[in-house]
Amino acid sequence: MTTPPIDWHARAAAITLPVRPFIDGRFVESTGAERFDSINPAANRPVCTLPAGTAEDVDRAVAAARRAFEDGRWAKATPLQRKAVLLRIAELIEANADDLALMDSLEMGKAISAARAEIAFATGFFRYYGEAVDKLYGTVAPSDGITLSLGLLEPRGVVGAIVPWNFPLINAVLKAAPALAAGNSVVLKPSEIASTSALKLAEIAAEAGLPDGALNVVPGLGPTVGQAIGRHGGIDLVSFTGSTATGRLFMTYAGQSNGKPLLLECGGKSPQVVCGDMADDLDAVAARVAHDAFWNQGQWCAAKTRLIVEDGFHDRLVEAVIRAAAERVPGDPLDPATNFGTIATRGQLGKVRGFIDHARTEGANVAFDGGTWGETSTAPAILTDVRPDMTVACEEVFGPVLSVMRFRDFDEALAIANDTAYGLAASIWTRDARRTQAAARGIRAGRVTVRASAAAGEHSGFALGAEPWGASGFGIEGGMEGLRSYCRFKSVEIVC
Ligand code: NAD
């Protein structure tokens, strides 16, 4: 029997969105009266109203997280008990997939088909880290005959997690799953642009058997709730994902409070280098180039928005990438046929168009511009004749704008690729073994993919972690190394 297609507009009209802070296992009222609207960018009208949040809300959440940590209800549960809960969370995410996808689509304009497909990442991360709970080993060090020298991995305590809006559910999961797997308690702040799927996640986790206080979600504004988490003396580690500017504020918050350690996953300006020896795979390469530049309307941290192409292959590749870009047609995010959603906010849309206009004044050629879709989105744009020093080649656009540059010899390609303050990711397309080696080792980025484009789960499951460079932040996220990021390493000597 086939399931009838979902009428997403009808479902959107009927859905009840969680809007209150989730603290100590239940939804509670914020201590503050100030509220803000979460705006559906496609319809330009409020989806829901949320509390702006207060430092007292954060205090309550930290106190609940601390109680849960200190009495050991989660931190000292057996590895098998913790694993069972995390795997159950994955099952319940799947059971609630349609509502979770709808929340993200409504709040930040992601096409519903994309939001629905992304649920597999959220369940994948919970399954990966659920399975990892009983495979996280410390060390036994060499010692003399009477000493047992152990390296223990312990939870850090209360983890503050701050996330952006571009993948609202996945960003929350990427913090919560490893932090919980390591035995920590979590106080998570979603972005004010898209908060509801993270609140729903907290409710789901409680239903899955996560003890009260182990996962608290406090919605609100950055300068209130975000800052209160950053400065809180009761938080042992902050794991932040967002812009470089805000990430650096968290360094200040930490330095001015309890000196808590940080994991910072910040912005990027990632390159993709394409060599002429890939000409036989023209359309396949162009499709991946377009995907990596324009996925999520270009609103992803590792968007590969600097295309560096070997001179003799430049024109053919650009034509093929334009064909691939033209297939991305902005439309109503709730129409399952839409393959390109809206830009998350009006302000961001203006910023993206501003980058295109400014690039023109700096001498770039606008080779393709799908233009705007009503007042809510912009189609992909492809700029050629871009020089590495132009604003559009240096600054993160966080929108669907691809800057194309040429290279003549491979050293020049690597130099352009590395000519950035950022270092999140890079792709190299070549069949030449020497170039592959040179790029894999020479590119300053946390994730380098060769003859492939990167998406968590696609090639290596969820097993690969990465550490960003420079302005993109620091600390490992993903894989077993990312799980260790949420652990404290303690050495123990037992003299017998
Ligand atoms: P942002 O820095 O504006 O906000 C991120 C989070 O910080 C939000 O929860 C926000 O409320 C909070 N915040 C904002 N101002 C604050 C303040 N003064 N004090 C404390 N908290 C504050 O980023 P954004 O616009 O939500 O997201 C886009 C950025 O995130 C881009 O730069 C993108 O590259 C980056 N990003 C990075 C990764 C990664 O893994 N490296 C992943 C996704 C997004």
pLDDT digits (tens, 9 = 90+) for 323-370: 999 999 999 999 999 999 999 999 999 999 999 999 999 999 999 999
> Residues 51, 32: contact at Cβ < 8 Å?
yes
The pLDDT, as a whole number, for residue 455 is 53
* Domains 8-266+476-495 and 271-445 belong to one CATH topology: no
The pLDDT, as a whole number, for residue 364 is 97
User: What secondary structure does DSSP assign to 404-423, as a single string?
Assistant: EEEESSHHHHHHHHT-SS--
Please name the residue whose Cα sits nearest to atom 23 of ligand 1. Answer: 242
* Distance between CA atoms of residues 417 and 420, nearest Å: 7
Measured in Å, residue 241 CA sits from the centre of ligand 1 at: 6
Residue 451 in this model has a pLDDT that exceeds 90: no
Q: Give the pLDDT band (50/70/90) at residue 453.
A: low
The pLDDT, as a whole number, for residue 463 is 86
Residue 456 in this model has a pLDDT that exceeds 60: no
Q: Which two tokens stand for residue 89?
A: 């969370």
Q: What angle do CA 72, 75, 78 make, to 5 degrees?
A: 100
* Distance between CA atoms of residues 162 and 181, nearest Å: 18
CATH fold group of domain 271-445: Aldehyde Dehydrogenase; Chain A, domain 2 (3.40.309)
Give CA 485 to chain center in angstroms.
Answer: 16
Closest CA to 65 of 189, 152, 149: 189
Catalytic residues: 265, 301
Pocket test for ligand 1, best of 162, 246, 249 (most atoms within 8 A of CB): 246
* Distance between CA atoms of residues 184 and 339, nearest Å: 38
Please name the residue whose Cα sits nearest to atom 39 of ligand 1. Answer: 265
The secondary element (H helix, E strand) that includes residue 449 is: strand 447-450
Residue 458 in this model has a pLDDT that exceeds 80: no
* Distance between CA atoms of residues 250 and 237, nearest Å: 11
Pocket of ligand 1 (CB under 6 A): 162-166, 189, 191-192, 222-223, 226-227, 230, 241-243, 246, 249, 265-268, 301, 396, 398, 424
CA atoms within 13 A on the CB side of 416: 27
The chain-wide mean pLDDT, for the chain, equals: 96
Looking up tokens 């949320």, which residue turns up?
50
Among 5-14, 225-234, 367-376, name the one with the lowest average pLDDT.
367-376
The pLDDT, as a whole number, for residue 454 is 54
Q: Give the pLDDT band (50/70/90) at residue 3.
A: confident
Residue 31 in this model has a pLDDT that exceeds 70: yes
Ligand 1 closest atom vs CA 303? 34
Residue 2 in this model has a pLDDT that exceeds 90: no
CATH entry 2.50.20.10 includes domain 8-266+476-495: no
The pLDDT, as a whole number, for residue 461 is 75
The pLDDT, as a whole number, for residue 375 is 80
Residue-range domain boundaries for the chain: 8-266+476-495, 271-445
Please name the residue whose Cα sits nearest to atom 30 of ligand 1. Answer: 242
* Distance between CA atoms of residues 141 and 7, nearest Å: 60
Q: Average pLDDT, stretch 172-198?
A: 98
pLDDT (tens digit per residue) in 283-319? 999 999 999 999 999 999 999 999 999 999 999 999 9
